[in-house]
Amino acid sequence: MTGRDRSQPSRLTRADLAALPNYVPGRSPADLARELGMTEAIKLASNEVPFGPLPGVVEAVAEAAAGAHRYPDLAAVALREALAEQYGVAADRIATGCGSVALAEHLTRVTTLPGDEVVYSWRSFEAYPIITATSGATSVRVPNTAGHGHDLTAMADAVTDRTRLIFVCNPNNPTGTSVRRAELDRFLDTVPDDVLVVLDEAYREFVTDAEVPDGLTAYGDRPNVVVLRTLSKAWGLAGLRIGFLVAQPEVATAVRKVVTPFSSSVVAQAGALAALTQAEEVRRRCALVVAERDRVTEALRKLLPEVPTSQANFVWLPLPTLPGGVDRAVQFGRVCESRGVIVRPFPGEGVRVTIGTAAENDAFLAVAETALLFN
Ligand code: PMP
């Protein structure tokens, strides 16, 4: 048998996937602690909240696990009804999925064909280029403003006849910046009616600027707007994987059609239902995160004045590569890691740091001072 030339790439999978970036998960703190010989490391890399699951979630998950031999409710009826009540929208406008990242992927799938365009700001959520490329569509990246936010005027200009979908990440991951009501109104007015605009509001619960609109209340009546939310962040369920969207019934129905069947598990649905009874506790926790975010921002600005105002549960340290080629973001990340603090460097651009407990943030700030000295 003549074997194929193994120096050539395999043809079993699409050749263009090789050019795609990998989604980078935060490093395991247990691994790092072992490597450094420390009792524990601090993970501030994945925008999780630091308080553990909400009251009642663990019990609900354990109880639901007794039914793990049965398939979950495909239509997630109880969960959609609970979300409908929580957010004051009709349940037929809601679709749930295995994290909001899966829903972003489904939205790309229900709107684009190969050659169609997806517009988003860049740098933004790292999943957008991956899901766009895997659906066969073309990414149109509009550079962030000098202040690290969306350039909505340039994004409007980037819309063509091929544009089917636009992501507006508000607040933006990883820079924490947000767009305000007046500019978003103007932008939405310019987008053609048959182009879907996804307001990705994964961090909505941490927003304190009254000028930053809540997509559900501000744009619920716009047929081409979809609001994407998650229970992973403020609601503390990152490990259970439940996200949801609110859209026109037509769009929500299309998404429910393409969702991977049964991808919201029995335990995830039960945990989400339990979490949704804890809105008051979520507000209390978010207030703690917000107070810490503002404290960390102020402290960091003494070291790096360019740190932008964040409306999310993380802060962004702009650390572009120096003219001599020194990658300050990577270097900063390395120094933090060597001291047991895991942050999220974006090579050549900057570092995203999740807000943790006050003690974790203090540990980070102490390390940041040293790490910036090295820069
Ligand atoms: N959107 C944004 C802007 C995010 O930052 C994230 C998570 N990093 C997601 C969506 C996806 O979150 P999940 O899939 O856990 O709901």
The domain made up of 57-275 is a member of CATH 3.40.50.300 = no
CA 277, distance to chain mean position in Å, is 23
HEC string of the chain? CCCCCCCCCCCCCCHHHHHCCCCCCCCCHHHHHHHHCCCCCEECCCCCCCCCCCCCHHHHHHHHHCCCCCCCCCCCHHHHHHHHHHHCCCHHHEEEECCHHHHHHHHHHHHCCCCCEEEEEECCCCHHHHHHHHCCCEEEEEECCCCCCCCHHHHHHCCCCCEEEEEEECCCCCCCCCCCHHHHHHHHHHCCCCCEEEEECCCHHHCCCCCCCCHHHHHCCCCCEEEEEECCCCCCCCCCCCEEEECCHHHHHHHHHHCCCCCCCHHHHHHHHHHCCCHHHHHHHHHHHHHHHHHHHHHHHHHCCCCCCCCCCEEEEECCCCCCCCCHHHHHHHHHHHCCEECEEECCCEEEEECCCHHHHHHHHHHHHHHHHHC
Kindly give the number of the ligand 1 atom that is closest to the alpha carbon of 174: 5
Q: Which mutation among 103, 125, 175 tests ligand 1's pocket best, with the greatest number of atoms within 8 A of CB?
A: 125
Q: Which mutation among 24, 46, 49, 101 tests ligand 1's pocket best, with the greatest number of atoms within 8 A of CB?
A: 101
- The Å distance, Cα 126 to ligand 1 centre, comes to 9
Q: Whose CA is nearest to atom 6 of ligand 1?
A: 202
- The Å distance, Cα 234 to ligand 1 centre, comes to 11
Kindly give the number of the ligand 1 atom that is closest to the alpha carbon of 124: 3
pLDDT score for 3: 59
Q: Whose CA is nearest to atom 14 of ligand 1?
A: 99
Q: Which mutation among 230, 237, 241 tests ligand 1's pocket best, with the greatest number of atoms within 8 A of CB?
A: 230
Dihedral (C-alpha) 134, 251, 184, 161: value to the nearest 10 degrees? 60
- The Å distance, Cα 180 to ligand 1 centre, comes to 20
- The Å distance, Cα 103 to ligand 1 centre, comes to 10
- The Å distance, Cα 280 to ligand 1 centre, comes to 22
Per-residue pLDDT of the chain (375 residues; tens, 9 = 90+): 555 566 665 688 888 888 888 888 888 999 999 999 999 999 999 999 999 999 999 999 999 999 999 999 999 999 999 999 999 999 999 999 999 999 999 999 999 999 999 999 999 999 999 999 999 999 999 999 999 999 999 999 999 999 999 999 999 999 999 999 999 999 999 999 999 999 999 999 999 999 999 999 999 999 999 999 999 999 999 999 999 999 999 999 999 999 999 999 999 999 999 999 999 999 999 999 999 999 999 999 999 999 999 999 999 999 999 988 999 999 999 999 999 999 999 999 999 999 999 999 999 999 999 999 866
Q: Whose CA is nearest to atom 13 of ligand 1?
A: 99
CA distances in angstroms from 335 to 39, 299, 339, 369, listed in the order given = 18, 18, 7, 10
CA distances in angstroms from 127 to 20, 105, 164, 288, listed in the order given = 11, 9, 17, 28
- The Å distance, Cα 370 to ligand 1 centre, comes to 30
Task: Characterise 8 by phi-psi region: left (phi > 0), alpha (psi -120 to 50), beta (else).
Answer: beta
> Rounded to two decimals, what is the model's pTM?
0.95
Q: Which mutation among 49, 100, 344 tests ligand 1's pocket best, with the greatest number of atoms within 8 A of CB?
A: 100
pLDDT score for 242: 98
What b/e string do you get for 108-135 counting C-beta neighbours within 10 Å, with b at 16 or more? bbbbbeeebbbbbbebbbbbbbbbbbeb
Q: What is the CATH number of domain 17-46+280-373?
A: 3.90.1150.10
Rounded Cα–Cα distance for residues 65 and 68 (Å): 5
pLDDT score for 25: 84
Q: Whose CA is nearest to atom 2 of ligand 1?
A: 202
Residues lining ligand 1, Cβ inside 6 A? 47, 99-101, 125, 169, 173, 200, 202, 230, 232, 238, 243
Among 55, 186, 185, 176, residue whose Cα is nearest residue 124: 176
- The Å distance, Cα 202 to ligand 1 centre, comes to 6
Task: Please report, for the chain, the start and end positions of each structural domain, with discontinuous segments joined by +.
Answer: 17-46+280-373, 57-275
